[in-house]
């Protein structure tokens, strides 16, 4: 009887972690502008993710989410700089999850 209860508790705990993650929407966060670095969260654990930067021209990179469903990706050679243009970043997971981050156009002083 005790073994059955313990097995049930372990099974419920194992199912609760993915269920809790499934309730959260995927998200993107700008980590740095130079070089452009983004972090993603709440993607399918260990799933592949395609990240596209829409700025001057679309640039796509591929990565894989960690066991926790997160990733960090650097767009080498594409610094936005302090006065660089705005744009948009879109991350699409292999299981249909999508997150979009709009990059603001910073205000810069004219020389």
Count of structural domains within the chain = 1
Provide the token pair at 108: 């810069």
In a domain, 92, yes or no: yes
The yes-or-no verdict on residue 66 having pLDDT over 70 is yes
Q: Which residues contact 92 (CB under 8 A, 6 or more apart)?
A: 49, 50, 51, 52, 98
In a domain, 111, yes or no: no
Residue 16 has a pLDDT of 42
Phi–psi pair at 36, nearest 5 degrees: -60, 120
In a domain, 68, yes or no: yes
Domain that holds residue 80: 25-103
In a domain, 85, yes or no: yes
pLDDT in tens, 87-101: 899 999 999 999 999
In a domain, 4, yes or no: no
The domain spanning residue 37 has which CATH number?
2.60.40.1940
pLDDT in tens, 7-31: 444 444 444 445 445 579 999 999 9
pLDDT band for position 82 (50/70/90)?
A: low
In a domain, 84, yes or no: yes
Residue with the larger pLDDT of the pair 15 and 62:
62
In a domain, 10, yes or no: no
Under 8 Å between Cβ of 53 and 100: no
Under 8 Å between Cβ of 36 and 83: no
Average confidence (pLDDT) over 1-7:
51
In a domain, 60, yes or no: yes
């Amino acid at each position: 009887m005790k073994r059955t209860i313990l097995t049930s508790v372990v099974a419920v705990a194992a199912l609760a972690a993915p269920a809790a993650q499934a309730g959260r929407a995927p998200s993107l966060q700008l980590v740095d502008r130079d070089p452009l670095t983004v972090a993603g969260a709440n993607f399918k654990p260990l799933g592949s993710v395609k990240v596209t930067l829409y700025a001057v021209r679309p640039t796509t990179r591929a990565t894989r989410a960690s066991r926790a469903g997160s990733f960090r990706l650097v767009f080498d050679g594409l610094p936005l700089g302090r006065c660089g243009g705005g744009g948009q970043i879109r991350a699409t997971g292999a299981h249909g999850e999508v997150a979009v981050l709009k990059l603001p156009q910073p205000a810069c002083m004219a020389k």
